[in-house]
Amino acid sequence: MNGGATSQTPKVYGWCPGALRPMMSGDGLVVRVRAPLGKFSVAQARGVARLSQDFGNGLLDISARANLQMRGIREDAHEELIEGLRGLGLIDPDPEAEARRNVLLTPFWSAGDDTHSIAMELSTALTASADLALPGKFGFAADCDSAPVLQDTAADIRIERNGEALLLRADGADTGMPVTRESAVPEALALARWFLEQGGAPEGRGRMHRLIARRGPPPAHTAPMTKAGFRAKPGAVPAGTLAALEFGQMPAATLAQLADHGDIRLTPWRALLVEGAAGLPPLPGLILDATDPRLQVVACTGAPGCLQALSTTRDLARDLAPHVPAGTKLHISGCTKGCACPGTAPLTLTATAKDEFSLIRHGTAADLPLKTRLSADALRAAPELLKEGS
């Protein structure tokens, strides 16, 4: 349901920015870098930080698909930026290949394991599949460790651990097809072609879960899926140390300083995994305490950084974070698109004007609100408003 409370309808692009195909925002170009295997070497991390400072505003975002976004890039500097990224080995052959190579993998992989091997083969195959005209937001997930950790992360085609076996699964389906390490990539590409043949992308747009809701999974996908719950927390992990980012953003200088401690893996939880690090120093933008209340709040860029946003978001998010009930998530969105949290959340505040919000419970940013015209000042003065109607 649409709440109908906004004073303007946000523009829906239907595609995500890349490096070769950036998107204009309120603070300049957004250039999204898809790091191969979701990892920056020490040299790459330092190089990206330097380029962000030289050609942008020095702010970096981590997206919900574990990509890095360079913000505030000057239009006249884009070509020089691309040359810098190409020198770091971070540029695809062309924009189409860049869009197809949309592969997310669990950040807990080890060299040569199923996740690592399948993700490498899949990335190479997608880059070469020039005839595969998938929608711009269509993505794949390789999640083959001892238990899947990406089931709550957006992906259209999943290759995931299912007990002792691997399962190829269409997003939105509770069943899939058993595959082996050798057959996983060919079958994943076949499933992508099935999606297109079944009319999953009319006019070049569409997602797998919507197709599955209409017609169900392919006939061969009959093996039941094992549901696995996972919640990422800052702290020590077997591969190193996981550091969350405040609302998914950090200064470029923080990335450069983190590189002093090891190679860096990007995660879909708006966090970074620093390989081999036994601990990390407190740096701007980092959240190292698993009990930090900001971890319960998701907030988009907001105004003025986003052209679609009707209000600032993150200052309010910082102020309300300590008042969010334990175990609850608060989503603060600058418009009804809800980019930072496309799914439902227990609590959502959607901007409808400058410093004015609607409150939605158990819905998306576009759903019918419980309360409207809540000012940011009123919410700060009476944060108990968040609990009304619970």
Predicted confidence at residue 188, as pLDDT, reads 98
**What is the 3-state composition of the chain as percent helix, strand, coil, each rounded to the nearest 5?**
30, 25, 45
Predicted confidence at residue 12, as pLDDT, reads 62
Predicted confidence at residue 286, as pLDDT, reads 97
CATH class belonging to 23-92+235-287 = alpha beta
Predicted confidence at residue 3, as pLDDT, reads 38
- The per-residue pLDDT for range 140-180, each reduced to its tens digit, is 999 999 899 999 999 999 999 999 999 999 999 999 999 99
Predicted confidence at residue 203, as pLDDT, reads 87
Rounded-to-integer distance, Cα 250 and Cα 358, Å? 28
Predicted confidence at residue 4, as pLDDT, reads 36
Identify any residues that bridge with 138 across adjacent strands, giving them in sequence order.
none
| Residues in the chain, pLDDT under 70 | 1-15, 389-390
DSSP state letters, 360-387: EEEE-TTSPPSEEEEEHHHHHH-GGGGG
Give the closest residue to 170 by CA, choosing from 208, 128, 130, 219: 208
**Contact present, 268 and 65 (Cβ < 8 Å):** yes
In the chain, domain spans: 23-92+235-287, 97-224, 293-387
| Assigned CATH topology for domain 293-387 | Sulfite Reductase Hemoprotein; domain 1 (3.30.413)
Rounded to whole angstroms, what are the CA distances from 87 to 55, 80, 365?
15, 11, 40
Both tokens of 54, joined, read 């030289």
Q: CB atoms < 10 A from the CB of 371, how many? A: 14
Helices (H), the chain: 42-55, 78-87, 95-100, 114-128, 184-197, 208-215, 252-258, 314-320, 376-381
Predicted confidence at residue 229, as pLDDT, reads 82
Predicted confidence at residue 5, as pLDDT, reads 36
Predicted confidence at residue 38, as pLDDT, reads 96
Give the closest residue to 191 by CA, choosing from 163, 223, 221, 222: 221
- The per-residue pLDDT for range 301-317, each reduced to its tens digit, is 999 999 999 999 999 99
Predicted confidence at residue 343, as pLDDT, reads 85
CATH architecture of the region 97-224: 2-Layer Sandwich (3.30)
Let me know if the fold of 23-92+235-287 is the same as that of 293-387. no
Residues 6 or more apart whose CB falls under 8 angstroms from that of 367 comprise: 1, 2, 3, 344, 348, 360
Q: CB atoms < 10 A from the CB of 46, how many? A: 19
**Rounded (10°) CA dihedral 88, 90, 94, 95:** -140
Rounded-to-integer distance, Cα 115 and Cα 44, Å? 22
- Phi/psi class of residue 62: alpha, beta or left (left: φ > 0; alpha: ψ in -120 to 50)? beta
Pairing of strands 297-299, 330-333: parallel
- The per-residue pLDDT for range 30-81, each reduced to its tens digit, is 999 999 999 999 999 999 999 999 999 999 999 989 999 999 999 999 999 9
For 215, phi then psi, to 5°, come to -135, 0
Helix (H, G, I), strand (E, B) or coil at 38: helix
Please, what is the average pLDDT of the chain? 94
